[in-house]
Chains A and B, each alone.
Chain A
Amino acid sequence: MTALSQLGGPPAAVTEKPGRRFTAYLLLLPGGLWLALFFVVPLVSLLSASLYDPSGTVETGYAVTGHWQNYVDALQDYARPFGRSMWYALLTTAFCLLLGYPLAYAIAFKSGRWKNLMLALVIAPFFTSFLVRTLSWKLLLGDNGVVVDTLKWLHILGPDGRLLATTTAVVTGLTYNFLPFMVLPLYASLEKIDHRLIEAGGDLFAGPVTTFRTVTLPLSMPGVVAGTLLTFIPAAGDYINAELLGTPQQRMIGNDIQNLFAAGAHPTAAALSVTLMATIVVLVLFYVRRVGTEDLL
């Protein structure tokens, strides 16, 4: 938990007074009810929808029959887009870390009085619509666009090569869209590092690389964990990039869940959705344990 709530700063002193506990529950009640009704209860509905007898329809209703076969069918039919989603999300997370770390580091340690401006610039893309921005990647990566022409001129791309409608385009879009979610937690944890620790590394005759590897990087691990989670999770469920920048060959599991719901095939769609959620929960728990920071969640 600490890793992700660290953006919230240190816990404040709690002023305790008798009889205030009741007030606390009263303050929590409206928001808590909203989340219970529209976050927890829906998850239960989703679980039960995934066990519906698929012979029903949205109009006639479904029989809740404990139809576990839905999961077997869904996994058999959609194993490939499912695996692809995980792979793309992994690639996206790796690229975001690779691009986000230098940026977060530059903002935290090298930006001087431009710190606030640079932070604002990281958040700024959020204010232009996600979809409109993704569409502009379609233009940038298009067959006669600047990027393709440059790559052809450099002979990195063959004369018939293209970027749009490829895995590269989808991962580029995903990386672009989720990069701020990597940079912000990284920045938050880098910023907290006591500068004297890094100087001490230099004083002890460690080169910049050794100092980075043994001091800065380990101390920024909470940010790395938070950032990778905040990038991986939404990327795994996204279908906008795959749809706008890719072809059916780049289809992700989100595309299928959305299409199945739109076509009224609720039981299969729900089964896929539950599987996605369960996979992510298992991966996250495994990852957090593996990184050796069990107190992070």
Chain B
Amino acid sequence: MTRTGRWIGRHLVLFAGFLVLLYLFTPIFVVVLMSFNDPKSRLSYEFDGFTLRNWQDPCQPFGLCDAVSTSLRIGLLATVLATALGTLMAFAMVRHRYRGRAATSLFIFLPMASPEIVLGSSLLALFVSAGFGGVLGFWTILIAHVMFCLSFVVVTVKARLAGMDTRLEQAAMDLYANEWQTFWRITFPLVFPGILAAALLSFSLSFDDFIITNLNAGRTVTFPMYVWGSAQRDIPPQINVIGTAMFMLAVLLVLGGELARRRRSR
């Protein structure tokens, strides 16, 4: 192959990669654009004109902000619970040798490999057969969210723990730190970015979940359920405001984390 051919070949992959990224981002551009939309009629879902009104009054559509607040509360609680339980499991799996380690891995992996509709419908079957069919709502959603976030937390924290240099802890012990001091001064700060990433992942999974939630929500309405409901009738532009705001928040968090990492490593 000639040199020019190789040059094209090399950059062709990069070019294709950029096109795919563009495909991934097109809907996000639309979400941001639509958050400034001034629809002509309630049923219009096309860009009719520019306005800042949606951003000034995001709570205007009835029930939207209640749904967002329900999602935020469930997301925060589910994140705290799943991150705590999952981190403990990850420590056991990486740092301890016990009977059934392979079985534990499979057990953690299975919920991630099950379709959401199966996870959701089996939880519903359990709740109904246990007599909780009438009280579906906040707590049943929370139980479901902790369940499916747990595996993702374990996998994320495990990755961080497995990549850690254990000699740092041995050095601390050699310098007469006891196990407790070693854990809080060495191990925990080193694992913390992994735990934080797991918590972020949990929150976004929980905030975004629809299929499992929809089956176990009773009359409680989360943000995705609100969007689903409005998609059947009229789509208020304010849901795009919430979508854009969440996106900006996440971008800021990720950028902040990256900056902090760069400053520390300098």
Contact = CB atoms under 8 A, between A and B. Distances in A.
Interface string B199-217: 0000010011011001100
A102 interface: yes
Contacts of A124: 24-25, 28, 247, 250-251
Interface string A133-151: 1111111101010000000
Contacts of B231: 131, 135, 244
Interface of B: 1, 6, 9-10, 13-14, 16-18, 20-21, 23-28, 30-31, 34, 45-46, 85-86, 88-89, 91-99, 102, 104-119, 121-126, 128-129, 133, 143-144, 146-147, 150-151, 154-155, 158-159, 161-164, 166, 204, 207-208, 210-211, 214-215, 223-224, 227-228, 231, 235, 239-240, 242-244, 246-247, 249-251, 254, 258
B109 A5 contact: yes
A169 interface: no
B122 A136 contact: no
Contact of B115 (A15, A32, A49, A233): A233
A292 interface: no
A49 B24 contact: no
B233 to A, nearest CB: 13
A276 B115 contact: yes
Contacts, number: 292
Contact of A122 (B24, B31, B94, B208): B24
Nearest to B30: A136
B121 A257 contact: yes
Contacts of B93: 28
B14 A106 contact: yes
Given A1-B106, A27-B91, A128-B246, 19 more contacts: A12-B163, A12-B166, A23-B92, A24-B96, A32-B107, A38-B146, A102-B16, A116-B258, A124-B250, A124-B251, A127-B246, A127-B249, A132-B242, A208-B9, A257-B117, A258-B117, A261-B215, A270-B121, A276-B117
10 contacts: A1-B105, A24-B97, A110-B10, A121-B25, A129-B227, A132-B31, A140-B30, A144-B46, A233-B114, A273-B118
A127 B1 contact: no
A46 B27 contact: no
Given A1-B105, A122-B24, A239 B211 contact: yes
Interface residues of A, number: 96
Contacts of A118: 17, 21
A217 interface: no
Given A12-B161, A110-B17, A238-B211, A28 B28 contact: no
Contact of A31 (B14, B126, B154): B154
Nearest to A229: B113
A222 interface: no
A170 B108 CA distance: 31
